[in-house]
């Protein structure tokens, strides 16, 4: 848990028992909850649900699994972020910054309408970060499947165009560009480190039509998959 926000977060309270959290929220000036769910995802989800019945305090979940359904469940409780195990310190830092911006009082002079807009933008930023991370996690887990943003948006109960816009703002590329990059980078890695057949690699990264895989791989790397593998062996 963290509280006493001025310029940075500081550890204010800590507990190993989930039953202690709600009483602490009620009586302490807590700004943020860091909830470690590494060893018990189900209890973590139940605790999020209990917290949300009483408070809108930001929650960052640490040590989650790569199970997309679990990440989607976390989103229904409006968590600020869902970080899978092992937790990347840089990702945690970015999450803390997003929450900090959401919580900071607006010290600059704005008209009332501007202040409301600024606050809404900060809330939107923190929420978008969590959603985008969930989308990226889904892509990583389902790379071998037929992935579309429409399918993901339906699973998350979001408008597809809205998610596409938020994704591009957050990642500086469209969802399809991100998906292509992830597939091609995975294909390159498999070409470099395994003796899998080209058709097996294509299938592993979500391509059922070999001609389409060959075309996209050449466009992405400037060479064919076979030539890429040969170059890797020559370099090695």
Residue range 151-201, pLDDT digits in tens: 888 877 678 888 898 899 889 999 999 999 999 999 999 999 999 999 999
Rounded Cα–Cα distance for residues 226 and 210 (Å): 13
Helix axes 160-171, 112-141, angle to 10 degrees: 90
pLDDT at 194: 93
pLDDT band at 229 (very low <50, low <70, confident <90, very high): very high
Q: How confident is the model at residue 204 (pLDDT cuts 50, 70, 90)?
A: very high
User: Is it the case that residue 114 has pLDDT exceeding 70?
Assistant: no
User: Does the N-terminal peptide bond of residue 86 adopt cis geometry, omega within 30 degrees of 0?
Assistant: yes
% residues pLDDT > 70 (the chain): 83
Q: What is the pLDDT of residue 124?
A: 55
Highest mean pLDDT (candidates 45-49, 81-85, 170-174, 179-183): 179-183
pLDDT reported for residue 122: 52
């Amino acid at each position: 848990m963290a509280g006493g926000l001025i310029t940075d977060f500081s550890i204010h309270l800590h507990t190993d028992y989930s039953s202690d959290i709600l009483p602490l929220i009620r009586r302490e000036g807590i700004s943020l909850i860091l909830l470690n769910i590494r060893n018990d995802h189900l209890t973590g989800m139940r605790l999020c649900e209990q917290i949300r019945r009483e408070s809108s305090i930001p929650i960052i979940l640490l040590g989650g699994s790569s199970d997309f359904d679990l990440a989607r469940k976390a989103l229904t409780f409006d968590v600020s972020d869902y970080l899978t195990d092992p937790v990347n310190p840089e990702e945690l830092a970015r999450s803390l910054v997003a929450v900090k911006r959401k919580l900071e009082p607006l010290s600059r002079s704005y008209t009332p309408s501007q202040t409301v807009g600024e606050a809404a933008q900060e809330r939107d930023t923190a929420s978008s970060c969590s959603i985008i991370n969930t989308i990226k996690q889904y892509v990583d887990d389902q790379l071998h499947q037929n992935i579309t943003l429409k399918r993901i948006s339906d699973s998350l109960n979001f408008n597809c165009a809205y998610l596409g816009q938020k994704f591009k703002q957050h990642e500086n590329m469209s969802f399809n560009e991100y998906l292509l990059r992830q597939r091609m980078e995975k294909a390159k890695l498999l070409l470099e480190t395994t003796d899998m057949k080209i058709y097996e690699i294509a299938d592993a990264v979500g391509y059922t039509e070999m001609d389409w895989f060959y075309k996209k791989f050449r466009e992405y790397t400037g060479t064919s998959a076979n030539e890429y593998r040969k170059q890797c062996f020559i370099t090695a």
